Amino acid sequence: MAAEGIDEFDIRDYLRTELLPHFMCPGCGHGIALRALLWAVHEERIAKDQLAIVTGIGCSGRVGGYIDANTFHVTHGRPLTFATGLALARPDLEVVVITGDGDCLAIGGNHLIHACRRNLRMTCLMLNNEIYGMTGGQVSPTTSEARLTTTTPYGNAEPTFDACGLAAAAGAGLVGRGMTLQTVALKNLIREALAYRGFSFVEILSDCTEIFGRKNDLGSSPEMILRQKGSMRPDFYGNTVEHPFRPNNLTTGIIARNERPEYGDTYRSEVLAPHGHGGAAAGVSAPVE
Amino acid sequence: MGAGQRINLQGNHACALGAIAAGCRFYAGYPITPSSDVAERMALELPKVGGVFIQMEDEIASMGAIIGASMGGAKVMTATSGPGFSLKQENLGYACMVEVPCVIVDVMRGGPSTGMPTRPAQGDIMQARWGTHGDHPIVVLAPSSVSEAFSETIRAFNIAETLRTPVVLLYDEVVGHLVETVQVPDPGSVARAERKWATGAREAFQPYAATDDDIPAMARPGDGYRCHATGLTHGERGLPTQNPAEVERAMQRLLGKLERHRDVIDRFETFAAEDAEILVVAIGITARAAKRAVAEARRQGIAAGLFRPVTLWPFPEQPFRALAERAKAILVPEMNAGQLSLEIERLSGRPAKVARINRLSGEPIEPAEILKTIEELARHGR
Amino acid sequence: MNALDKESASPHGNRDAARPTNVLIVGVGGQGVLMVSKVLAALCQSEGFEVKQSEVHGMAKRGGSVFSHVRFGEQVWSPTIPRGEADIVVALEWAEGVRWLDHLKRDGGTFIADTQRIVPPISFRNRTRNAASAYAPETPAEVVALVGNGFALDATSMATGLGDRRVANTVLLGALSTVLPFAAEHWLAVIEQFVPAKTKDLNRRAFLAGRDWAVSAERVPAAAATDAVAQKVTARAIETAPAHLLTINEAWCKGCDICVKMCPERCLSLNARMVAELARPDACTACHLCEWLCPDFAIRIESAPAVKGAS
Amino acid sequence: MDHVLETRASARTPIAESSSAPAAQRAGRPLTGNEAIARGAWEAGIRVAAAYPGTPSTEIMESLADYPAEDLHAQWSTNEKVALDVAIGASFAGVRALASMKHVGLNVAADALMSLTYIGVNGGLVIVVCDDPGIHSSQNEQDTRLFSRFAMVPCLEPADAQEALVMTREAFDLSERFDTPVIIRSTTRLSHTRSLVTLGERTVPPSGHFREDPRKNVMVPAHARNRHPKLIEREAALRAYFATSGHVRWETGRRDIGIITAGTPYAYVKEVLPDASILKLPAAYPLPLDLIGRFCESVERVLVVEELEPAMETEIRAAGLKVEGKAFFPRVGELAPEVVRAGLESAGILEPQPKVEPWQLTPPARPPVLCSGCPHTMSYMALRALDARVAGDIGCYTLAALEPLRSIDTCVSMGSSIANAVGIAKAGTEAKPIIATIGDSTFLHAGIPPLIDAVYNDANITVIILDNHITAMTGGQDHPGTGRNLRGSETARVDFEQMVRACGVKWVRKVDSYNVAEMYQACREAAAFKGVAVVISDRPCVLDPVKIKGPPLEVQAKNCIACQSCMNLGCPALGWSEDMFEGHHKVRINAALCIGCTLCAQICPSDCIHPSVQ
């Protein structure tokens, strides 16, 4: 499917194909999410050289390595901080952060809220698979209640995080949620996020089949991907079978939009310009003199 | 350095101005006593040169931000104090592994934990060396005056950029808050080292190639190299690897890189040390007290001398060993429970001849105390 | 041929008074064929005729083609109308009208049909690119011209305009009333017995709207534009569908089964090595779903490849 | 506005002769054949009635339930044999009883029938059997008249609703007088045709009582041997009775042609050849052969016009009478005026009509489909994904054999699926998972013994019980799994899960039929289980007991990628729009048909289907 006037998208053009097949498990949703991102990048006509991917630690963190772009695989929970420095220093780059539910909300939760507050132009994709997959399946801030993980062997007793609600409340410019089942919609959502001048946060519901799915008896990969919309089931006749699923009602699409000035713009106009510096996208990487 | 001008400066401000002079255009920090003046001065100065100042949500974020900005091509710095320095350690390790130039200022205060925020100490000597986990290369510079705070900051940037390594600027609260007259050179007259940027064909480029000088050229985003940076052990292509041979080779190069460039790194000061029988080794404000004590001892006829490592880590071993062999006794005064003395004992060849003055009270060590110990060493030997 | 040029009314009486009058009511299950026939039957009875009304229940009512025979007269024997002897065919759905048209008397039967199109899903079972619809391609104008005495009205739109599309049936009854010898008030009285009390007024207006429309000169709905669109859709031939090529990179496939299960046409399967393969290439419509949902980028569909030597 | 209408209406010449004033209301009430049968039974004073729903017989019991509960007990039974046995019990107890069923239901009840015919009746007992010539909604078109001959039970054949009422009423008298059960044979065309009927009053016979008579009531070999000769005697007596019955209609017309007929074909004969001599018989069995002989003598040529089998023709010929019939009339399908006319034309009795060229029209095929929101849909989607070998059963869900679900491989008779699956599994030739699908009502009807059989014989099969809480196919009747009886009162409810476990099934899972992923998973896991696994697909039918409806769903055309995943549901609310996407039609949802089940939205991979905002 090619958007008008754009060459047909071939994902191989955006991958370090020599590294494939990737390390992710069979049926892992992260691959689909990656396709959606690269597809959106293609349709937004972002040059690979200008694309900077910053990823944290975890399965989501490893996604970046397959992208034929400037990729930075940084420390656990901190990709937003690295991206903040990068985006401030290099406003000419398209900075995209790929993070996971644990990376972004647990260890990196503080950075998320401040990145949202700051509204510095970048796109943050949080791949939510409800689990710490890389470390073998421990409970994460988004693990649904009652779910089994290696650290909740008797069922998760903690309530879960609504990442989008958090981001919206923290003032993120654009907040959206998509799911891997809906690749095209997800791609379109990411396009909006990429095009947004400010901090955009996209939560992507992505399945961990091999660890989370198996542990919780959620079925095969196709079953899990279909389950992403399971909560759409009508309750007008009462649900005859109870089964907990993702608690956050699965609203997808754009969830919030806070029209606020982009931080970099503000910094350049309010702080740098009075000193005779800072064009629209002036960076600080080049030697000044 | 050119003529410039003489101005009165606080140590922290001198550090900030040194950074600007060295080409720093990105600063991220988080307030912490006694380092906050650095951030405040950077916030004031950076816009004037088109640079970016940002106060992040914590020290971890500050460290991440400067690494990110440096990977984007900027010369970067952050400043903190002990507790914050601890928080920066993981990302500092990342910078070591990924070989990202950056300067981290640690203005030492009493510790551990919250300790004495407003009192000086020198307790981070070992943290500065071994703060992050795993074997890693690190350069630590220890200025002892406001003037040096200025000049060593410049040197820190130049080492960082030249060798693609994080450089820690380590000084105590006294140096940080001391106001002295400093000869500030004209802008433009400061020698600035620039990073070795990748050039040439993308296909042939390897981001971690073992080049002649063991310092790989860095690819700047947007220049077409589209490289991968990772804290995972990586091979020459920058991609993660667990191949034992490849890992060994990569780590050997990383750790050996600084040794190969000691000429760029090493700096030390000696005072009456050539024939010293009693050699005092100190850094920071303590070194200045020691210098006065040594001068007084000489006046009394005691063959005392001073060795001050300005580059604290890696320790300037060779020059020190030469002096240490001759000395009958070595005295290490420091505002901690004995960190520098550990290294001195190791390097002296005879730990028994190393005497210590340790101070944990938050008070600087007076020259008289040092002199007293020198006199005792001279009388009784060790 | 323009149906409007034809004479506006072709009055035909029942020349053999002993013969019953035959009305065939057809539609799609769920449309209310039974309700229409019940109204008619009750009216005929109240007018003093013997009435037989016959329908079929069971499987046929589930979205399938539904029909009801209503016969009335002095004496009615057979419950069903012989083929070709229906005096009137009332169709609640366009294609159903076309389907039962052959039951209409050739010499002057009356055809009253809603132009509403309920396109059966099966009409598009050929899901290849640019496949044509199998829905009745005949336009209302053509059919009206064919039968001579035909009324094709957009009863559903009229009903929607009145406030509830469900009263389309009553609109049709209004049109039907113009060709049967019963007084309008009698019709309305019977209709009121069969509709919910609160919709009496709505149904009355619907009946009058249909009746009004039928006595006007129109024979096909004015909204010819919708027909034009319909024409475009139904007549869209299978243009040269662009060839496509689905390739699977076996080295990248991890056999997660997503493509196999998600393919709408079930074209794919996992082979013995647990690698996806295109088992039914002919069924592939190049919808791209497998490509998009493959987490391993192993599937690629070239939507318009430069097929060398392809005709 | 009224006067305008009147004027315009009169401008058009009506089709029928207009009566200047409304004629007097025609006498009687419009009743369907089934309603008339129920009325006849009520008028005859029945006290007990039982049935299992089956098209076209269902409305008989539903109509009986409209009469006061003090007058009669009417019930749904779990199957036709049970229904007949209930009626037999009532007859034993001395009251009039009725059992109704469709033709294939009589097969289920046949075991009881073949003994009942030996026993006879105490209270009058009538079995109404509705045949389905033309197979509008059945799996075959067997002819019950052959069954009645086989069972030596008289078989009355009403021709219209009025006769249906009267014959039913009189059948009870006949039953008691001749000590025999009586079959009333209806057909779809009679059962579902509404015509005017004159009603009678209810007459309740004096209350009877159980008659202790083991030689008649207990069919052990010694007793049965004595009863068989009584049947022969009874047959002769009935033969004589039917020669004089008031329902014999001998219409003297043309001498050159006589027609022997019975039931609804009589109406077609009257329609097509009203001036023929006609002998209309009240019963196809036993035949009054003497009377028939006299009729044959009265005319030059005799044709037998009967639907389906040559039941009368064969017997008349066997009696040495010269008649014709099936040489001109089909043995398959439903008769109709045009069919009878064609037969008479080929017999040379009527002049062939001029051939009319059919119009060249091409309407689309419109096969029946599962309702929008039908909970069965998802079960079959899952089975289709499994690529399973599926033994189907009788119910709405048989439609899943058609495109697009196309996931049922066999359909035999009520309850066959499970045992069919056992057989397929035991044959050992099938590599695919073997699945039996059976509705809740059908499972209770005849599915439990085969399930026990499957467990007992350790068959490796999966059974999907499609529990939609109703007998849906026949229009929504209650059954023991719904918790309500025929009259709508609360009653005990079968718990399928417990029942299945009690049968010994180790793997049981209940799944919401609207949960796409769960359904896929349950079917896959069940199929993987070695042994009998049962999935209970649980959602109420969209039509009953309360019409359930959520906000209809909408397709946001801009997002539709025309992948057509949803179209596999075969939902009638899903259609194509004129919008195209890369050469494929986009999907549109008919809001009037959509009930908001969300299955399409759950399957949709493009997030283009959402509940409409209401």
Say yes or no: D557 and D431 in one domain: no
- Choose among A1, A223, A237: nearest Cβ to D517: A223
Say if the Cβ atoms of A237 and D538 lie within 8 Å. Answer: no
Domain membership flag for residue C308: no
Say yes or no: B159 and B48 in one domain: yes
**Which stretches in chain C have pLDDT values below 50?**
1-15, 60, 223-240, 305-311
Domain membership flag for residue B350: yes
CA-to-CA separations, B167 to B63, B77, B254, in angstroms, rounded? 13, 9, 15
Lowest mean pLDDT among A48-57, A66-75, D547-556: D547-556
List the beta bridge partners of residue D125.
D97
**Chain D residues with CB inside 8 Å of A223's CB?**
517, 520-521, 524
List D residues 179-238 in contact with C (Cβ-Cβ < 8 A): 188-190, 192-196
Domain membership flag for residue B170: yes
Say yes or no: C105 and C175 in one domain: yes
**Chain D residues with CB inside 8 Å of A239's CB?**
512
Say yes or no: D404 and D502 in one domain: yes
Domain membership of residue B127 as a residue range: 5-184
**Chain A residues with CB inside 8 Å of C304's CB?**
8
Domain membership of residue C44 as a residue range: 3-235
Interface predicted TM-score (ipTM) of this complex, two decimals: 0.86
pLDDT tens string, chain B, 382 residues long: the values are: 456 899 999 999 999 999 999 999 999 999 999 999 999 999 999 999 999 999 999 999 999 999 999 999 999 999 999 999 999 999 999 999 999 999 999 999 998 999 999 999 999 999 999 999 999 999 999 999 999 999 999 999 999 999 999 999 999 999 999 999 999 998 789 999 999 999 999 988 999 998 889 999 999 999 999 999 999 999 999 999 999 999 999 999 999 999 999 999 999 999 999 999 999 999 999 999 999 999 999 999 999 999 999 999 999 999 999 999 999 999 999 999 999 999 999 999 888 899 999 999 999 999 999 999 999 999 987 6
Say if the Cβ atoms of A32 and C255 lie within 8 Å. Answer: no
Is D404 in CB contact (< 8 Å) with chain C? yes
**Chain C residues with CB inside 8 Å of A20's CB?**
251-252, 296-297
pLDDT reported for residue A285: 61
Among candidate residues B267, B269, B268, B272, the one with its CA nearest the CA of residue B374? B272
Find, in chain D, the residue whose alpha carbon is nearest to that of A227: D517
Domain membership flag for residue C190: yes
Find, in chain A, the residue whose alpha carbon is nearest to that of D545: A237
Domain membership flag for residue C92: yes
Is C136 in CB contact (< 8 Å) with chain D? yes
pLDDT reported for residue C310: 36
Q: What is the pLDDT of residues B124-139, one digit of tens each?
A: 999 999 999 999 999 9
The residue among B134, B154, B184 that closes a domain is B184
Fold of A25-230+241-275: Rossmann fold (3.40.50)
The residue among C209, C235, C261 that closes a domain is C235
Specify the CATH number for the domain of residue C258.
3.30.70.20
Task: Count how many domains chain C has.
Answer: 2
- Choose among D337, D367, D520: nearest Cβ to C78: D337
Q: What is the pLDDT of residues A249-259, one digit of tens each?
A: 567 889 999 99
Domain membership of residue D294 as a residue range: 249-346
Say yes or no: C250 and C154 in one domain: no
Say yes or no: D238 and D254 in one domain: no
Say if the Cβ atoms of A220 and C260 lie within 8 Å. Answer: no
Q: What is the pLDDT of residues A18-27, one digit of tens each?
A: 999 999 999 9
pLDDT reported for residue C239: 44
Domain membership flag for residue C310: no
pLDDT reported for residue A279: 59
List B residues 60-79 in contact with A (Cβ-Cβ < 8 A): 60-74, 76
Q: How far B351 CA sits from the closest chain A CA (Å)?
A: 40
**Chain D residues with CB inside 8 Å of A230's CB?**
515-518, 602
pLDDT reported for residue C248: 95
The residue among C235, C253, C268 that closes a domain is C235
Task: Count how many domains chain B has.
Answer: 2
Say yes or no: B180 and B272 in one domain: no
Domain membership flag for residue B50: yes
Return the number of CB contacts < 8 Å for C and D.
Answer: 293
The pairing of beta strand B278-281 with beta strand B228-230: unpaired
Specify the CATH number for the domain of residue B277.
3.40.50.920
Q: Tell me the H-state helices in chain A.
A: 29-43, 59-63, 79-89, 101, 109-118, 163-169, 183-195, 214-215, 221-227, 263-266
Q: How far A59 CA sits from the closest chain B CA (Å)?
A: 13
Find, in chain A, the residue whose alpha carbon is nearest to that of C292: A183
Is B368 in CB contact (< 8 Å) with chain A? no
Say if the Cβ atoms of A28 and C295 lie within 8 Å. Answer: yes
Domain membership flag for residue C65: yes
pLDDT reported for residue D1: 32
Say yes or no: D222 and D122 in one domain: yes
List C residues 156-215 in contact with D (Cβ-Cβ < 8 A): 165-166, 177-181, 183-186, 208, 211-212, 215
Domain membership flag for residue B228: no
Domain membership flag for residue D364: no
Query: Do D and B share at least 3 CB pairs under 8 Å?
Result: no
Say yes or no: D202 and D280 in one domain: no
Specify the CATH number for the domain of residue C155.
3.40.920.10
Find, in chain C, the residue whose alpha carbon is nearest to that of D564: C264
Find, in chain B, the residue whose alpha carbon is nearest to that of A23: B240
- List all chains that touch chain A, counting a touch as 3 or more CB pairs closer than 8 Å: B, C, D
**Chain A residues with CB inside 8 Å of D521's CB?**
218-220, 223
Find, in chain C, the residue whose alpha carbon is nearest to that of A34: C295
Find, in chain B, the residue whose alpha carbon is nearest to that of A113: B57
Is A37 in CB contact (< 8 Å) with chain C? no
pLDDT reported for residue B85: 98
Say yes or no: C144 and C277 in one domain: no
Domain membership flag for residue B154: yes
Say if the Cβ atoms of A90 and B221 lie within 8 Å. Answer: yes
Q: What is the pLDDT of residues D250-287, one digit of tens each?
A: 999 999 999 999 999 999 999 999 999 999 999 999 99
Q: What is the pLDDT of residues B160-182, one digit of tens each?
A: 999 999 999 999 999 999 999 99
Q: Phi and psi of D84, rounded to 5°?
A: -65, -40
Is A11 in CB contact (< 8 Å) with chain C? yes
pLDDT reported for residue D605: 87
Say yes or no: D267 and D149 in one domain: no
Say yes or no: C24 and C164 in one domain: yes
In angstroms, how far is CA B356 from the centroid of its own chain?
23
The residue among D218, D243, D268 that closes a domain is D243
Is A208 in CB contact (< 8 Å) with chain C? no
Q: What is the pLDDT of residues C128-174, one digit of tens each?
A: 776 666 777 888 888 888 887 888 989 988 999 999 888 999 999 99
**Chain A residues with CB inside 8 Å of B44's CB?**
none
